[in-house]
Amino acid sequence: MKILGFNQISNAMRLEPESFDDLYLLAVVINAGDTVEGKSTRRFRPSEGDKGEQKDVVIKIIVEKAEIDRSAFRLRVSGKIIEGRPLEFVSLGSYHTLNIETRESISVHKDEWKAYIMRRLKEAVADSKKPKLGIVAMDEEKVSFAYIKGYGIDIFSEIYSKLSKKMNEKEYKKQKEAFFDSVISAMNNMPVDVIVIGGPGFTKDDLKKYMDGLRKKVEKRLAYVQASDAERSGIREIMQSEAVAKLLENERVKKEFFYLNMFLSGLVSGKAAYGSENVKERLDDIKLIMVNDDVLNDESVKKVLDMADSNGIKIEIFNSGDDAGMQLVRFRGIAAI
């Protein structure tokens, strides 16, 4: 996430999401009654019955709903238009949906920015500098290693296979195995939990067979996708694939279940609480609060989260539409360890 600016007088913050996680966070941050301004398109019809044409516009809406469109990997923010430019292409008072993707900046205005929300945004800015996912793009000639960070692609190493069609079968096999060994070693040294391997042809499939056959393990979760080449363009292709977006989302879901299971274990030993009143009563003992995104506007929940944040208690916001969030609903949408 990038925070491009914050006007303390108008309480408007300009933000640029850099990953699917950032889009999800914006879906949590943006509430009904906020105003959001962003670029969009509107169909302009100069006369009745005219088919019209799409025009680029900048629109500000009063938010009624913000939700993630998982099929398109974007954020949809819907509401009534209150401002727009060019004005001749905008119908004030009509309803519109801003479709926000990564790398698209928006301006969000709130009556009040809660401290725990500000902290979460700052954490997202810091997280954007850490590697979230490893990418290996390979073909017969070389392999490129990269990290997906919040701000984009970081290619940190390349290895060349040194394979030649002039080699005899034995030499070729020996060199190919040496190439694969160096790839495996490099992947084991990548400080990530998940690596996506992609490329053209069968080289990535041969690597998988080699690792499976000799039981040479990479201590990471591996996924395989198709890509056009082993260059930056191939890495970008892998990065933008549906498989990568789902992997990143799954990592967040896995973390949510880890915290939820800690909470469920704590219920047995008395080291857990749920419901805003019970959590409020035990704030002095609490280390972590889990809260569903759909209860963030509840006044009793807001008070608890404000007090928790001022006490330095960690707050994790769950997606109420995911399995972990659905389980948290049973505990009134807020629970603590």
Tell me if the pTM is above 0.85: no
Higher pLDDT, 41 or 71: 41
Q: Structurally, how many domains does the chain consist of?
A: 3
Whether residue 201 sits in one domain with residue 144? yes
The answer to whether the CB of 158 falls within 8 A of the CB of 144 is yes
Task: Report the CATH number that the domain containing residue 302 is assigned in CATH.
Answer: 3.30.1330.30
Q: Is residue 247 part of a domain?
A: no
Q: Is residue 251 part of a domain?
A: no
Average pLDDT for the chain: 89
- Calculate the CA dihedral of residues 322, 323, 325, 330 and round it to 10 degrees: 150
The answer to whether the CB of 72 falls within 8 A of the CB of 245 is no
Whether residue 191 sits in one domain with residue 76? no
* Amino acid letter, residue 22: D
Task: Report the CATH number that the domain containing residue 181 is assigned in CATH.
Answer: 3.30.420.60
Higher pLDDT, 217 or 55: 55
Q: Is residue 47 part of a domain?
A: yes
* Pairing of the two strands 314-318 and 288-292: parallel
Higher pLDDT, 301 or 153: 301
Asked which of 95, 127, 159 is the last residue of a domain, the reply is 127
Whether residue 261 sits in one domain with residue 162? no
Longest pairwise C-alpha distance within the chain? 76
Whether residue 231 sits in one domain with residue 260? no
Q: Is residue 246 part of a domain?
A: no
For residues 161-175, average pLDDT: 94
Whether residue 317 sits in one domain with residue 225? no
The answer to whether the CB of 322 falls within 8 A of the CB of 249 is no
Give the count of beta carbons closer than 10 Å to the beta carbon of residue 311: 10
Give the count of beta carbons closer than 10 Å to the beta carbon of residue 179: 24
Q: Is residue 245 part of a domain?
A: no
Q: Is residue 233 part of a domain?
A: yes
Asked which of 78, 108, 127 is the last residue of a domain, the reply is 127
Whether residue 79 sits in one domain with residue 153? no
Whether residue 273 sits in one domain with residue 293? yes
Whether the bond into 200 is cis, omega within 30 of 0: no
Percent of the chain topping pLDDT 90: 57
Alpha helix positions (H), 189-322 = 203-214, 232-239, 242-269, 276-281, 299-310
Q: Is residue 248 part of a domain?
A: no
Q: Is residue 213 part of a domain?
A: yes
What are the backbone angles phi and psi of residue 145, rounded to the nearest 5°?
A: -110, 135
List of long-range contacts for 83-88, beta carbons under 8 Å, 24+ apart: 83/37, 83/59, 84/42, 84/57, 84/58, 84/59, 84/60, 85/57, 85/58, 86/55, 86/57, 88/44
CA distances from 31 to 35, 70, 97, 113, 185 (A): 9, 19, 14, 11, 46
State yes or no: pLDDT of 328 exceeds 90. yes
**Distance separating alpha carbons of residues 175 and 164, to the nearest angstrom:** 9
Of 122, 129, 153, the C-alpha closest to 244 is: 153
Task: Report the CATH number that the domain containing residue 101 is assigned in CATH.
Answer: 2.30.30.870
For residue 18, the enclosing domain spans 2-127
Of 316, 312, 318, the C-alpha closest to 330 is: 318
Assign residue 63 a region (left: φ > 0; alpha: ψ between -120 and 50; beta: otherwise): beta
* Dihedral over Cα of 153, 158, 161, 165: its sign: positive
pLDDT category at 141 given cuts 50, 70, 90 is very high
State yes or no: pLDDT of 297 exceeds 80. no
* Amino acid letter, residue 14: R
CA distances from 273 to 24, 51, 260, 320 (A): 26, 58, 12, 19
pLDDT category at 152 given cuts 50, 70, 90 is low
Q: Is 204 helix (H, G, I), strand (E, B) or coil?
A: helix
Of 74, 76, 129, 65, the C-alpha closest to 102 is: 74
Whether residue 151 sits in one domain with residue 104? no
Give tens-digit pLDDT for 233-284. Answer: 999 888 878 778 777 767 777 788 899 999 999 999 999 999 999 999 999 9
Asked which of 92, 108, 127 is the last residue of a domain, the reply is 127
Whether residue 328 sits in one domain with residue 300? yes
pLDDT at 244: 80
